[in-house]
Homo-oligomer: A and B are copies of this chain.
């Protein structure tokens, strides 16, 4: 370390800077994703006819909500992780926008429970709207964070591949419109909206051609 040039030292301090943001974010993602299981309540007060097996099967909306929300938070973590491979510097604005994004993430367990308890009940379309709505908000927060960091390469690594940056900008820009479709579908049918959400999760889980270029 004693032999490094001042520029290298600067680089190192910058890495340390974002590494604590990443550690804090990792913690929040990890807790939000783990709290989801608390929404699956062990069934009590079983009746004579329908035993525990039946009761466990009737919990399927809770399992479904758990799996979809887990997939979403997991994929968001992977995306956050990828963004911060390119984001190297940090400033006050980035800290605030990252906090805003994390607020969206930590809120996910609430609409998840709401969905789990209302699926197959009269209010299921409203629950699906709220559920898609929160992802819409998170998608917007992701775009704000990325626009702020990537504007004129403000906080990006010096050797960030411009094509990779553009590819992320484009694929993120699609997010809010897609979740808006999921939100709109919920007016018609809760299950259609959920199915579209699952399709979106698969879409964002698959590495896009251009994203691949930047990571491999």
Contact = CB atoms under 8 A, between A and B. Distances in A.
Interface string A60-74: 000000110011001
A103 to B, nearest CB: 5
B78 A95 contact: yes
A24 interface: yes
A118 interface: yes
Helix, strand, loop or mixed for chain A's interface?
helix
A37 B91 contact: no
Interface string A103-133: 1001101100110011000110011001000
A148 to B, nearest CB: 14
Contacts of A113: 42
A34 B20 CA distance: 17
Contacts of A152: none
Interface residues of A, number: 71
A77 B11 contact: no
B12 A8 contact: no
A14 B145 CA distance: 25
Contacts of A87: none
Interface stretch (A51-59, A166-174, A179-187, A189-197): A51-59
A24 B106 CA distance: 15
Closest 9 CB pairs of A and B: A27-B30, A74-B99, A52-B123, A31-B34, A92-B207, A24-B26, A34-B106, A28-B30, A42-B113
Interface of A: 1-5, 7-8, 11-12, 17, 20-24, 26-38, 40, 42, 44, 46, 51-53, 56, 66-67, 70-71, 74-75, 77-78, 81, 85, 91-92, 95-96, 99, 102-103, 106-107, 109-110, 113-114, 117-118, 122-123, 126-127, 130, 205, 207, 212, 215-216
25 contacts: A1-B4, A1-B12, A2-B5, A20-B22, A23-B26, A24-B30, A27-B31, A28-B30, A30-B31, A33-B102, A34-B35, A37-B107, A38-B38, A38-B109, A51-B122, A52-B126, A52-B127, A56-B114, A67-B103, A70-B99, A74-B99, A78-B96, A78-B99, A91-B216, A92-B207
